[in-house]
Structure 1
Amino acid sequence: MATVKVYDQNKQECGEVTLAPEVFEIEPRPEILHFVVRGQLAARRAGTHMAKTRAYVSGGGVKPWKQKGTGRARAGSNRSPVWRGGAIVFGPTPRDYSFKVNRKIRELALRMALSSRLADKGLMVVKNIEIAEPKTKLFAGVARTLGLEKALIVAPEVNETLIRSSRNIPGLNFTTPDQLSVLEILRHKQLVLLEGAVEPVQARFAKGE
């Protein structure tokens, strides 16, 4: 079992916490992490792109010129794909890009992402973060003290004061244990768990075992 130090918001040691090995000590497999991240990114795509085929493009109801006798090539419509302003052949059509990722694979990837942050020393446990009012300046001072640059902070529950005071600081984002995703963990170099969020995270992902 891994034991990590707990810091207060002034980065003073104030205890230790033991992390469950079935959640934080899983050997990462790049192919699984890549598959799950690709699935999350694909599900975000709107898929509303479309180009007009001959069924949708307007105009072209009259034959531009007679079939014979003009010396020009035969033409049946001025909205033919070979004409400027004409239809598009085999253009994009609306589609759903998402694909299924099995629940067990998602849970395994989440535990691998958490484990990778612990393995590369990018995981920190903070007792709590308290600021008097939702001001960016106050939270920026705490982040500077803790050495946070590009960090995902996991709070036990939604905290509007912390969210409002941090949303203008580039690279810092808040989430809760039930909203954790592989993509968000991997795109932040640092993962900060508030002490109250450690147990909910372990309780959620230990179920995958």
Structure 2
Amino acid sequence: MATKTVKVTLPAEIFDVQTNVPLLHQVVVAQLAAARQGTHKTKTRAEVSGAGRKPFKQKGTGRARQGSIRAPHMTGGGVVHGPTPRDYSQRTPKKMKAAALRGALSDRARNGRIHVVSELVAGTKPSAKEALATLRSLSERKNLLVVIERANDVTALSVRNLAEVHVLYADQLNTYDVLVSDDVVFTNAAYEAFVSGKAANDAFGAGAPVEEVEEETEAVEAKESTKAAPKYAGSRAPLADAKKAPKGFDIKGNEDSMKYHVPGSRWYDNTVAEIWFATVEDAEAAGFVPAGGKSAQETSQETDEEDAK
């Protein structure tokens, strides 16, 4: 069978980014750690079988005194400091995993090791021989990663038993499998699903138009600023981005010190707002006092007004 390769333009935001080797290492270590079962277990002296009595009397035997046959140094005794069941998984932010996958794919793409084919097996009958012939016409390297779409059962059955060939669905593509493979082979449908489908949008955020992203951001901010009832009159709770002020509320309040900071004041930029107020009057009505005295806050306000003039 002649290999039907497909010429595609690889998106630069996915296949041509800088590769961060320490990031790849961290993500791969976390992925391998999460794959560990962590079911190892040994019994302590409290858990092994055996009586609680002394094995022999304290004195008169000429031997060292013993208190229990379950002691660690006794045959059949408990294990000291042995392994116990534990969870090895590490928390890895989604953005780090996405950046690592972009870096791994970019490294393969820069070396000409990303291939896209129309199909690996013609027809509706699985054929391992035909699939292997197609793959070897693309690359003679040892380890190959085949990425297919979910509905492609023919290819999945054809390559699942091939040695040195690993198959994944497009939404399962991950950093570790890309790095341990010499070449990555996409079917055309899988490539389209990965680049322009939900998987790419979730992993890279590159598929949505800018206008939609901006509208969604505004909606989220509005929801965040109104999801909780205001604690004080004329106030708003902080957004997810604590440095960003809700629209119309630019006075920072610190509930620990019960002080407020107006824009342009000395400590305004370094203060993390625990509550936002619309006006100075609202802040003072809630019991907050000006940081550094009222003169400091008024001076900063007057300076801003003069600069505006």
TM-score range, shorter chain: 0.7 to 0.9
- Cα RMSD, aligned residues only: 1.9
> Counterpart in 1 of 2:172?
179
The aligned runs of 1:1-80 (5 Å cut-off) are: 10-11=2-3, 16-80=7-71
For residue 87 of structure 1, the aligned residue among 78, 81, 91 is 78
Cα shift at 1:58: 0.4
> Counterpart in 2 of 1:137?
129
What secondary structure sits across from 1:64 in the alignment? coil
Count of residue correspondences = 200
Cα shift at 1:157: 2.5
> Counterpart in 2 of 1:3?
none
Work out the CA distance in 2 between the residues paired with 1:72 and 1:206. 71
> Counterpart in 1 of 2:148?
155
Cα shift at 1:147: 2.9
Residue 144 of structure 1 aligns to which amino acid in structure 2?
R
8 Å contact 2:139–2:183 — kept in the other structure? no
8 Å contact 1:113–1:186 — kept in the other structure? yes
Residue 188 of structure 1 aligns to which amino acid in structure 2?
S
> Counterpart in 2 of 1:198?
191
C-alpha change, 1:41 and 1:158, in structure 2 (3 Å) is farther
What secondary structure sits across from 1:84 in the alignment? coil
Residue 30 of structure 2 aligns to which amino acid in structure 1?
G
Work out the CA distance in 2 between the residues paired with 1:118 and 1:174. 19
Work out the CA distance in 2 between the residues paired with 1:176 and 1:207. 19
8 Å contact 2:54–2:66 — kept in the other structure? yes
Residue 49 of structure 1 aligns to which amino acid in structure 2?
H
Work out the CA distance in 1 between the residues paired with 2:163 and 2:192. 28
For residue 170 of structure 1, the aligned residue among 163, 168, 179 is 163
What secondary structure sits across from 2:157 in the alignment? helix
Residue 136 of structure 2 aligns to which amino acid in structure 1?
R
Work out the CA distance in 2 between the residues paired with 1:180 and 1:26. 17
8 Å contact 1:51–1:91 — kept in the other structure? yes
Residue 101 of structure 2 aligns to which amino acid in structure 1?
L
8 Å contact 1:108–1:208 — kept in the other structure? no
8 Å contact 1:131–1:139 — kept in the other structure? no
Q: TM-score, normalised by structure 1?
A: 0.88
> Counterpart in 1 of 2:109?
118
> Counterpart in 2 of 1:100?
91
Work out the CA distance in 2 between the residues paired with 1:206 and 1:109. 11
Work out the CA distance in 1 between the residues paired with 2:151 and 2:95. 27
- Could you tell me which runs of 5 or more consecutive residues in structure 1 were left unpaired when the two chains were aligned: 1-8
Cα shift at 1:208: 6.5
Residue 180 of structure 1 aligns to which amino acid in structure 2?
L
What secondary structure sits across from 2:155 in the alignment? helix
8 Å contact 1:10–1:146 — kept in the other structure? no
> Counterpart in 1 of 2:119?
128
Cα shift at 1:10: 2.1
When structure 1 is superposed on structure 2, of 150-159 and 29-38 the one drifting more is 150-159
Deviations 1:108-164 (A, max 9, x none): 111111111101221112122333311222222222333354211112334221111
What secondary structure sits across from 1:80 in the alignment? coil
Q: TM-score, normalised by structure 2?
A: 0.61
Deviating above 4 A after TM superposition, structure 1's stretches of 4 or more consecutive aligned residues are none
